[in-house]
Amino acid sequence: MLLIGGCGSTVDTASTGSAATPGAPYRITGAGGKTSGPLQITRIELTFANQQAEATVPQDARLHARAVIRTDGNGPLRATWLVDGRPLETVALNLSFGSTVTLQTGAGTRLPTFEPGPHSVTLRVQEPAPPFPVPVIRYFVTGRKTKGN
């Protein structure tokens, strides 16, 4: 496998079993995004620590949300975590060269788990506006408290 280009492109010579030789068949794949132009969001995935879009936790438990965002281009990313429609935390980053970035609610910012019942979490992206609806993930807080809290 040879690395070419600056975007994680690879040349796969495994199908021929040979080293890179002139005239040999190659399969080229790209792992990077577009490197020029304004920032564009191509994908957003929201999950909890369990890698799912749903979680059930005891009252006062520690809970964080995570967003994996794929982008093309360059520019600022501004977004706000919302819980039950209310702002929880704002994130501002400058991204370049098309990338995948993972955002997590901050270490000092837990999702509210003091109120039993169902709750929703989403990421409101102010800049750049995604061309699709951002997913909503849900968690349920039981009436039982965790030990030690």
The domain of 64 spans 40-145
Distances (CA, A) of 70 to 10, 30, 76, 90, 129: 19, 14, 13, 18, 13
Count how many domains the chain has: 2
Structure tokens at 2: 């040879």
DSSP code of 111? P
Q: Is the pLDDT of residue 112 over 80?
A: yes
Q: The domain that contains 97 carries what CATH number?
A: 2.60.40.10
Claim to verify: residue 25 and residue 75 sit in the same structural domain: no
Claim to verify: residue 108 and residue 138 sit in the same structural domain: yes
Claim to verify: residue 20 and residue 89 sit in the same structural domain: no
Residue 116 makes CB contacts below 8 A (sequence gap 6+) with: 59, 141, 142, 143
Claim to verify: residue 21 and residue 44 sit in the same structural domain: no
- pLDDT tens digits for 48-86? 999 999 999 999 999 999 999 999 999 999 999 999 999
The CA distance from 86 to 89, in Å, is 10
Averaging pLDDT over each range in 18-27, 28-37, 50-59, 90-99, which range is the top one?
A: 50-59
Instruction: Answer left, alpha or beta for residue 49, where phi above 0 means left and psi between -120 and 50 means alpha.
Output: alpha
- Token match 């965790």: residue? 146
Residue 133 makes CB contacts below 8 A (sequence gap 6+) with: none
pTM value is 0.72
